[in-house]
Amino acid sequence: IMLYCASLRWHCDGWCVAVTEVRLDRRLDASLAKALDDFTAGTGERDAPREFTGLLARHLRTPGKRIRAKLLLASYQAHGGKVSSGRLIPWAASFELLQAFILAHDDLIDAAPSRRGRHSLQKEFRVRGFSRAEALTLLGGDALYLLGLERLLDLPEEPSRIVRALRYLFAAGRKTVVAEVDHLLMRPPDLLTASPAVLETIYRGKTAHYSFIAPLVCGALTAGRDHCHVQRLERLGADLGVAFQLQDDLFDLYPGPGAESDESYEDIRNSRVTWIVVRAARESAAAERERLVNVFRKEKKTRADIGFITTLIERRGARKNAEERIRALLSRAARSLALLPLPDKRRLTAVIRAAFLPVYHAELEPRTE
């Protein structure tokens, strides 16, 4: 009976949090719209072209979970901050603006035609007839970056807390860039020498630091927590970030029904070395490894090439290995979360759960040990 009551309370709490998240989405939408309105107004000399800012607005409205903004607010609240007044919404919106900047440049690097079922920003510029789509995408990303930095200054907290949070965020950004460079510089022969552990180190840098660790830690620092507490959040965020990237890698290979065809197998098409492919290579025969490297060297992959790699991943158990690794990381994250000395973790836990597919939610159930 006690277990049933605990489960019932958990699901009721989840419903209440869901209602709160809908309201939060609306507030974030309003703050993002205001940021673009400010940009459109220009500097007093000349307004920004409305078609340009209109496409930026569309890019900002790309469907997504807004994990970073919501993690920031949930962490701030869990550490004693008050979010009911909405005064931290611009601060949270800054994380979404910075994320939109990163996605615009990522899609440019990968020549990605779409993002979550919509045209990517560079593709949008192309279909609208702009002659210099790549240059405009770079400038659009720059605009979003500057707007994000501007909103970071809107935090209504003690200056010392703001400085600590900003320093941490910028340090996380540096780690993200370094890890992205390391990942981009990996070549097909690295499939034979890299290990899953090496890829997890890269994933901690490129995904965990910016998407999970920084929002968790910045929320805590803004609420006045010290650096001793920060170390626990870093461990939690690292496991969540690596698990999230592994989930993303799997989704690229197995997108499920309704996914856009040009969003599938993007990692393979771009010869991106991932944890799953490295794991498959380590378990493969010499002839399979040689063919794998040769396929990754090709600029354009055929259906047969993609079929060979996906079959190899299945046959060598790499898909199952990745799913097991996600579950192990999330179980460890749940234990880390349980050990955080916080009076109310319900919203924080709900936001974390929302970042992962339902099949993994059991690993994130509240721990009582």
Q: In whole numbers, what is the pLDDT of the chain averaged over residues?
A: 86
CA 305 to chain centre: 29
pLDDT at residue 319 is higher than 70: yes
pLDDT at residue 9 is higher than 60: no
Structure confidence at residue 259 (pLDDT):
52
Structure confidence at residue 317 (pLDDT):
97
What's the mean pLDDT in 246-271?
Answer: 81
Domain locations in the chain as residue ranges: 13-74+89-156, 158-369
Structure confidence at residue 349 (pLDDT):
96
Position with higher pLDDT, 194 vs 126:
194
What's the mean pLDDT in 251-265?
Answer: 71
Structure confidence at residue 107 (pLDDT):
84
Structure confidence at residue 58 (pLDDT):
84
pLDDT at residue 54 is higher than 50: yes
Topology of the domain comprising 13-74+89-156 = Farnesyl Diphosphate Synthase (1.10.600)
pLDDT at residue 10 is higher than 50: no
Angle between helices 89-110 and 67-78 (to 10 degrees): 150
Residues 6 or more apart in contact with residue 227 via CB below 8 angstroms: none
pLDDT at residue 311 is higher than 70: yes
Tokens of 128: 């609208």
Q: Where does the pLDDT of residue 12 fall: very low under 50, low under 70, confident under 90, or very high at 90 and above?
A: very low
Q: Which tens digit of pLDDT belongs to each residue from 36-52? A: 777 766 555 556 677 88
Q: Where does the pLDDT of residue 262 fall: very low under 50, low under 70, confident under 90, or very high at 90 and above?
A: low
pLDDT at residue 175 is higher than 90: yes
What's the mean pLDDT in 289-300?
Answer: 96
Task: Check residue 49 and give left, alpha or beta (phi > 0: left; psi -120 to 50: alpha).
Answer: beta
13-74+89-156 and 158-369 share one fold: yes
Closest Cα partner for 158 from 244, 255, 81?
Answer: 81
Decide: helix, strand or coil at residue 343: coil
Structure confidence at residue 88 (pLDDT):
83
d(CA 207, CA 212): 8
132, burial (CB in 10 Å: exposed 0-12, middle 13-18, buried 19+): exposed
d(CA 57, CA 98): 14
pLDDT at residue 339 is higher than 80: yes
pLDDT at residue 13 is higher than 60: no
Position with higher pLDDT, 198 vs 49:
198
| Percentage of the residues of the chain whose pLDDT score is greater than 90 | 52
Q: Which CATH superfamily is domain 158-369 in?
A: Farnesyl Diphosphate Synthase (1.10.600.10)
**Candidate from 19-23, 135-139, 258-262 with smallest mean pLDDT:** 258-262
Backbone angles phi, psi at 118, to 5 degrees: -125, 165
What's the mean pLDDT in 90-94?
Answer: 88
| Percentage of the residues of the chain whose pLDDT score is greater than 70 | 87
**Candidate from 21-30, 187-196, 263-272, 278-287 with smallest mean pLDDT:** 21-30
End-to-end CA distance of the chain: 19
d(CA 171, CA 313): 36
Structure confidence at residue 39 (pLDDT):
73
d(CA 88, CA 94): 10
Q: Where does the pLDDT of residue 15 fall: very low under 50, low under 70, confident under 90, or very high at 90 and above?
A: very low
